[in-house]
Structure 1
Amino acid sequence: MRNEPKLTRLDRVFARLDREPERPALIDEPKMSRHRIVLLAATLAFYGAIVWAVVITSWLVRLDWQVMFFRPYQQWSEIHWFVDYYVVLGQRGPTAVMVAAWLGWRSWRQHTLRPLLALGVSLLLLNVTVGAAKYGMGRLGPHYATVIGSNEMWRGGDIFPSGHTANAVVTWGILAYMASTPRARRWLSAVSAVTSLGVGMATVYLGTHWLSDVLLGWAAGLLILLALPWFEPLIARSEAVIFDLRERRRARRG
């Protein structure tokens, strides 16, 4: 009698995945259209304008200090507890886990790794671009500011742009990016915009970021989402390689 090969947990996962519906033939994937390129260029110009306004210690820096001295967390102390919880929607770990769980289910149901790979690429771009900007400009936050009226640049900080804000834009915005219909994309875009807006304002309220940090964080996150279609060929090739490796592994176990 022939003995059947013992299936590993990974084999059982792939076997279940094979029984799920195949990836829909018509998914409205975002393209690098002229409209998107114009938005990308405008956002890049806005990004540069914010950096320049802070570097030259313009009216934007004066506004930063005015908001800091206003101390919103003291003016509206009754909502402090809520803001402490809400700002978690911009933290990398919790948001990545929640969004990855949803996109993982999408991958399971549609027999495609594209949702998870797109999330991975966007987070990698976020770490590289925002991290480089933070440490390159070295701005100190409101709690560590040294000279009143100064832009606090190149003093060893890591606050500019706001990582919480950029992370909220990317992690919640990727849900809109992966939507399968234009209508769903519009609704999810609105939800992610409101969520990231709230996260940015929450950091200003708590005094952990300057207002200009938040503006730059919004721009930094939006640039990543707008540029993602350029990485779709890489995502498709990566998915093909992973499934090819799976088939080879099955063949060897045959």
Structure 2
Amino acid sequence: MRTERNLTRLDRLFARLDREPERPAGLDVPRMSPHRIVLLGSTLVFYLLIVVAVINTSWLVRLDWQLMFFRPYQQWPEVHAFIDYYVVLGQRGPTAVMVTAWLGWRSWRQHTLRPLLMLGTSLLLLNITVGAAKLSMGRLGPHYATTIGSNEMWLTGDIFPSGHTANAVVTWGILAYLASTARTRRYLSAVSAVVALGVGLSTVYLGTHWLSDVLLGWAAGLLILLALPWFEPLITRAEAWILAQRDRLLSQYRRTTPVSAPAGAPALFPQRAPAEGTSPAREPVGAGHTARNTGHLGQRGHAVRTERAPATPVGGGSRRAAHADSGARVGRSTPASPVTGG
């Protein structure tokens, strides 16, 4: 008899995850084209020019001080409350949660881990590159400046480049990078550029960053987005490895999960062997025509059992005549007749 297994919620979840990864038809994956390489090189040159200009205390540093003395948060105090909330769009924690939730849903619908893996790769690159630049140059912010007109470099600060600005460029720009079509990518690129531009200017308005910090933050985030196609092969191999580990865990789960038979169904497994030192239950003579364990029959078939010889009365032979064919007694279940002593 075939038994059907009732699927649990965990079984349905594994069945959903067991589907092969499939990408939408016509998915436009960015490539490292010559145009992209030119943009990457130009952004890198702009990045280096900003660093050199700040180190040499050029006109850019003088502009930083002029904006600091202008104090935009005092010039337009009516927008201060809005800017306090808007600048959160560049804060790493809240933005990472929002974008991860959206890309996680896309990964679930498309049955691929590429969106989440690409987001993790971009955030890892952001932390490494921007963090290393901050710690190596150690620039102090406007609120902690010590000497008027100086570049405030190598003074144990950590605001150059602007982390809020770079995070806004990468976090919202990754949505445009992962767009399914070129048209959607253009629209999302424009939206992410406006958000990142607003976040950078918001930090200048609040006086937490110099203008040069924001310029370098824009360049740092754009460099990461432009370099992402180089990591596509690595993402593909990582996704294949993760799916292989998933298949291994699923196979182990299915081997260890017991199959429950419906109520009233006969047992499909042999009975447990008796414990050591105890005698098994003896089947009564004459039970040859009774139903036996179906699992026992399914595994070993009928076992030929030689019946116990009848008792011989004391002082004489059996009152029954010996059967002409002793072999015919094998497998018969006629009980022995009562005997008495002589």
For the criterion TM > 0.5, the same-fold answer is: yes
Pair member with larger Rg: 2
One-letter amino acid matched to 2:213: D
The equivalent of 2:38 in structure 1 is 38
The equivalent of 2:230 in structure 1 is 230
The equivalent of 2:24 in structure 1 is 24
Question: What is the rounded CA distance, in whole Å, between the counterparts of 1:45 and 1:112 in structure 2?
Answer: 36
Question: What is the rounded CA distance, in whole Å, between the counterparts of 1:144 and 1:80 in structure 2?
Answer: 21
The equivalent of 1:133 in structure 2 is 133
Q: Verify the 8 A CA contact 1:176 1:186 in the aligned structure 2.
A: yes
Deviation at 1:116, TM superposition (A): 0.3
The equivalent of 1:161 in structure 2 is 161
Question: What is the rounded CA distance, in whole Å, between the counterparts of 1:194 and 1:18 in structure 2?
Answer: 40
The equivalent of 2:118 in structure 1 is 118
Deviation at 1:43, TM superposition (A): 0.1
How many percent identity over aligned positions?
77
Write out per-residue CA displacement over residues 28-75 of structure 1, whole angstroms, 9 at most, x where no aligned residue.
Answer: 000000000000000000000000000000000000000000000000
Between Structure 1 and Structure 2, which shows a larger proportion of helix residues? Answer: 1
Question: What is the rounded CA distance, in whole Å, between the counterparts of 1:88 and 1:81 in structure 2?
Answer: 12
One-letter amino acid matched to 1:127: N
The equivalent of 2:282 in structure 1 is none
The equivalent of 2:197 in structure 1 is 197
Write out per-residue CA displacement over residues 149-193 of structure 1, whole angstroms, 9 at most, x where no aligned residue.
Answer: 000000000000000000000000000000010000000000000
One-letter amino acid matched to 1:178: L
Question: What is the rounded CA distance, in whole Å, between the counterparts of 2:28 and 2:124 in structure 1?
Answer: 24
The equivalent of 2:47 in structure 1 is 47
Q: Verify the 8 A CA contact 1:146 1:152 in the aligned structure 2.
A: yes
TM-score where L is the length of structure 2 = 0.71
Rate the CA distance shift 1:19–1:249 in 2: closer, same or farther, 3 A: closer
Deviation at 1:249, TM superposition (A): 1.3
TM-score where L is the length of structure 1 = 0.95
Q: Verify the 8 A CA contact 2:19 2:111 in the aligned structure 1.
A: no
One-letter amino acid matched to 1:208: T
Rate the CA distance shift 1:169–1:247 in 2: closer, same or farther, 3 A: same
Q: Verify the 8 A CA contact 1:44 1:223 in the aligned structure 2.
A: yes
One-letter amino acid matched to 1:204: V
Rate the CA distance shift 1:54–1:97 in 2: closer, same or farther, 3 A: same
One-letter amino acid matched to 1:176: A
Q: Verify the 8 A CA contact 1:20 1:108 in the aligned structure 2.
A: no
Q: Secondary structure at the match of 1:52?
A: helix
Deviates more, 1:16-25 or 1:91-100: 16-25
The equivalent of 1:187 in structure 2 is 187
Deviation at 1:142, TM superposition (A): 0.2
One-letter amino acid matched to 2:202: A
The equivalent of 1:242 in structure 2 is 242
Deviation at 1:18, TM superposition (A): 5.0
Deviation at 1:251, TM superposition (A): 1.7
The equivalent of 2:261 in structure 1 is none
Is 1:97 the counterpart of 2:97? The answer is yes
Q: Secondary structure at the match of 2:213?
A: helix
Write out per-residue CA displacement over residues 108-157 of structure 1, whole angstroms, 9 at most, x where no aligned residue.
Answer: 00000000000000000000000000000000000000000000000000
Q: Secondary structure at the match of 1:27?
A: coil
Is 1:221 the counterpart of 2:221? The answer is yes
Deviation at 1:250, TM superposition (A): 1.5
Question: What is the rounded CA distance, in whole Å, between the counterparts of 1:59 and 1:221 in structure 2?
Answer: 24
Rate the CA distance shift 1:64–1:228 in 2: closer, same or farther, 3 A: same
Q: Verify the 8 A CA contact 2:18 2:247 in the aligned structure 1.
A: no
Rate the CA distance shift 1:124–1:5 in 2: closer, same or farther, 3 A: farther
- Residue correspondence of structure 1 range 56-67 to structure 2 within 5 A: 56-67=56-67
- Residue correspondence of structure 1 range 166-181 to structure 2 within 5 A: 166-181=166-181
Computed over aligned residues only, the root mean square deviation of the Cα atoms, in angstroms, reads 1.8
The equivalent of 1:70 in structure 2 is 70
Deviation at 1:225, TM superposition (A): 0.2
One-letter amino acid matched to 2:183: R
Question: What is the rounded CA distance, in whole Å, between the counterparts of 2:33 and 2:198 in structure 1?
Answer: 29
One-letter amino acid matched to 1:175: L
- Segments of 5+ residues of structure 1 without an aligned counterpart are none
Deviation at 1:252, TM superposition (A): 2.0
Q: Secondary structure at the match of 1:239?
A: helix
Deviation at 1:4, TM superposition (A): 5.0
Deviation at 1:16, TM superposition (A): 3.1
One-letter amino acid matched to 2:120: G
One-letter amino acid matched to 2:186: R
Q: Secondary structure at the match of 1:46?
A: helix
